[in-house]
Amino acid sequence: MTHHSGRRRTARPDVAITGIGMLTPAGIGTAATWKGLCDGRPTARPHPALTGLTVDFACWIPGFDAAATLGGPVSRRMDRFAQMAMAAAIEAVTDAGLDTAAWEGSRVGVIVGTSIGGMPSWEEAQRRMLEGGPRKVPPLAMTRVLPNMAAGEIAIALGAGGPCLAVAAACASGAMALHLARELLRSDAADVIIAGGATCDISPMVISGFDRLGALSRRREDPAGASRPFEAARDGFVMAEGAGMLVLERLGDARARAGRPYAVVAGCAATDDAHHPTAPDPGGAGAERAVRLALSDAGAGPGDVGHVNAHGTGTVLNDAAESRVIRRVLPHGVPVTSLKGTLGHLIAGAGAVEAACAALSLREGLIPPTANLDVQDPEIDLDVVTGSPRPLGTGLALSNSFGFGGHNVVLALAPP
C-alpha cells in the first residue's frame, strides 16, 4: 500500500479478526446471516409488541431460543440484548478455534457496544410496578436492564478476566468496541478480546421515541420495502435487533496457533461532528476526517480502497451526507453497499455486524447487495451494489459507522 504524508505510523503489532458470531434478522448464526445478505431478502415485518403504534414493524429474529442456547437459569437473568450478545460471542470463540477451558482467562477481554441496555425489561418492570406496586418488580430487573451486563455475562460464561467494558456511542457503538479492542491488544493489555455490539430496542417506548424524532420509516403498507438506503423514496430507518461479536487477536499470535484470520484491522479512527444531537453535519466534515484518519492509520491512501460498507441508514440526511463524504475521499469510485436494506438498523450492533461482513467480503470475494434500491437518489453519486452480490476486487474494505451525538467510527480492513 502507498504511504502518504501525515502522522507517522508506530511499529505496533497488527490485529486480526479470527472469529465471527452473528444473530441478525437475516438468520441465526454467521452462515445464515451471510446467505440472507447475499440473497438480498428484506426482513422487516409487523412486530406483535408494536401493535397499534404509528410504526408497527421492525426487523426482528424469530426462533431464537435463549434457554436452549444458553441454559434456562442463565438466560432468565438476562435481557434479550445480552442473550443475543452471549450467543454471538460463543459462536465467535468457537469459530476462532479457541478453547475457553485452556486459555489464560486473565488475558482475555470483552467489549460490548450497547445503546440503552435492556429497555424491554425496563418497560416490563415499570408496567408491573404501576399495576401492582413495588413488590411486583422482578427481582432481577436491574441485572437485566444495566447496559454493562452483556459484557459482564460473557466474561462470566467464558472465564474472561481481562478488560471488560460496555461502550455507548449510539449507532457507532459496535464499531467503537472493535476500535478499542484493537488498541488494547496493541498495547498488550490482553491477548484475546471478544468485541462487538448488541441491541434489542424493539419496544413501544423506543419505537415511539424514534418515531417522534422523525427518524423511522412509516411505510406500514409495505414493511419489507421500508428500509431503502440511498433510494430516492427513502423516508427513514427501520429498527432491528441483533448482535455481532468478533474475536480479535494480534496477527502474530493467531498465526502462531494456526488460526485462520478473516482480515486485519489495518486502520481505525473515531471523531465527532460536534454539530447536533441527532442530525449529521450536512457537510460531513467529522465523518470525512474519520475516513481519512483511518486510511492514514492503515498507512494507505484513497486509491488503496476497494469497497465501502456504508452506514447507509435510509434516512434522508444521513445518506446524503455520507455519499458526499465517500465521493470526496474516493473520487475514483468504489463499490458501495448498505446492509440495512436487508437487516434494518441494528443500532449498537450495526457497526460490529457490518465490520464482520466487510471481513467476510474480503474472504469470500463478494459484496452483498443493497436491498430495496429501485431508483437511486440522483443526488447520490455512488456505485451502489444492487440486485445480486458483486465480485470484490483488491484493496481495503472500509466500514463506516455514524451515530446520534455526532459519533463517527471508521474501520479499514485488509486481507490477512
CA distance 175 to 163: 17
Whether residue 25 contacts residue 43, with contact meaning beta carbons closer than 8 Å, is answered with: yes
Rounded-to-10 torsion of CA 225, 230, 236, 238: 50
Residue 383, judged by CB atoms within 10 A of its CB (0-12, 13-18, 19+), counts as middle
Q: Which of 47, 179, 307, 345 is catalytic?
A: 345
Set of cell numbers at residue 70: 444458553
Whether residue 276 contacts residue 286, with contact meaning beta carbons closer than 8 Å, is answered with: no
**Alpha-carbon Rg for the chain in angstroms:** 20
Identity at 44, one-letter amino acid code:
A
CA distance 216 to 237: 5
Q: Strand, coil or helix: what is 161?
A: coil
Give the Å distances, CA to CA, from 173 to 154, 177, 288, 407. Answer: 17, 6, 18, 9
* 345 among known catalytic residues: yes
* 38 among known catalytic residues: no
CA distance 32 to 171: 23
* 4 among known catalytic residues: no
User: 3-state SS of 64-113?
Assistant: CCHHHHHCHHHHHCCCHHHHHHHHHHHHHHHHHCCCCCCCCHHHEEEEEE
Q: Which of 47, 179, 307, 311 is catalytic?
A: 311
Set of cell numbers at residue 100: 475457553
Residue 143, judged by CB atoms within 10 A of its CB (0-12, 13-18, 19+), counts as middle
Set of cell numbers at residue 173: 457503538
End-to-end, the C-alpha distance of the chain in Å comes to 13
CA distance 416 to 413: 9
Q: Which of 171, 200, 268, 357 is catalytic?
A: 171
Residue identified by cell 486480526 is 16
Could you list the active site residues? 171, 311, 345
